Amino acid sequence: MYMCRYVEKKSEHWQPKFSVIVKELEELNRLKLSVTMQHTINFQNFGERMSRRSELLLEMKKFFSDLGIEYRLLTQPLQILSPYPSSQYVNTAYPYPPPEYAGAQIADPSAGGGGRL
Q: 1-38 pLDDT, tens per residue? A: 788 888 888 888 888 888 989 999 888 778 888 988 88
Residues 54-66: pLDDT tens digits? 998 899 889 888 8
- What does the pLDDT read at residue 23? 92
43 occurs within a structural domain: yes
28 occurs within a structural domain: yes
Count of CB atoms within 10 A of residue 37's CB? 19
Mean pLDDT of all residues belonging to the chain? 75
- What does the pLDDT read at residue 33? 87
Angle at 50 between CA 48 and CA 52, to 5 degrees: 70
Q: How many residues does the chain have?
A: 117
Residues 6+ apart with CB under 8 A from 105: 114, 115, 116
Helix (H, G, I), strand (E, B) or coil at 117: coil
DSSP code at position 101: G
Alpha carbon distances (Å) from 47 to 41, 50, 51, 52, 88 = 11, 5, 6, 9, 59
| Structural domain boundaries, residue 45 | 2-66
Query: Among candidates 12, 23, 15, 10, which has minimal Cα distance to 55?
Result: 10
Query: What average pLDDT does the segment 82-93 reach?
Result: 56
Query: How many structural domains comprise the chain?
Result: 1
Alpha carbons 98 and 110: distance in angstroms, whole number: 21
